[in-house]
Structure 1
Amino acid sequence: MIYRDPAPPYRPEADRYGGMAYVRCGRSGLKLPAVSLGLWHNFGSVDRYENARAMALRAFDLGITHFDLANNYGPEKGSAEETFGRILAEDLAGYRDELVISTKAGYGMWPGPYGEWGSRKYMLSSLDQSLTRMGLDYVDVFYSHRFDPETPLAETMGALAHAVRSGKALYAGVSNYPPEATREAAALLRELGTPLLIHQPKYSMLERAPEAELFGVLEDEGVGAIVFSPLAQGLLTDKYLDGIPDDSRAAKATGFLREDQVTDDVVETVRQLREVARTRGQSMAQLALAWTRRRPEVTSTLIGASRVEQIEEAVEMLSQAPLADGEITEIETILGR
Structure 2
Amino acid sequence: MKNRNSLTRQLSVAMATLALVAVVVSTAAFYIVYAVLERLRIVAPLPPGVADTTGLDVGITLAACVIGVALALAVAVRLARRIVQPLGAVGEAARRIAEGDLTTRITPVRAAHGEAALLIADFNAMADRLQRMSDDVKLWNAQIAHELRTPLTILRGRLQGAKDGVFPLDDELVVGLMKQVEGLTRLVEDLRSVSLAESGRLELMVADLDLAAELLEMRPELDSMLTPAGFGLELALQPGMVRGDAARIRQAVIALVDNARRHASPCIVRIEVGFGGAGATITVADRGPGLAPGFEANAFRQFARGGASVGGSGLGLSVVQAIARAHGGDAVYRRTGDSSLFQVILPQPR
Could you tell me the TM-score, scaled by structure 2's length? Answer: 0.20
More helix by share: 2
Larger radius of gyration: 2
Q: Quick one: higher RCO (CA 8 Å, sep 6+), 1 or 2?
A: 1
Could you tell me the TM-score, scaled by structure 1's length? Answer: 0.20
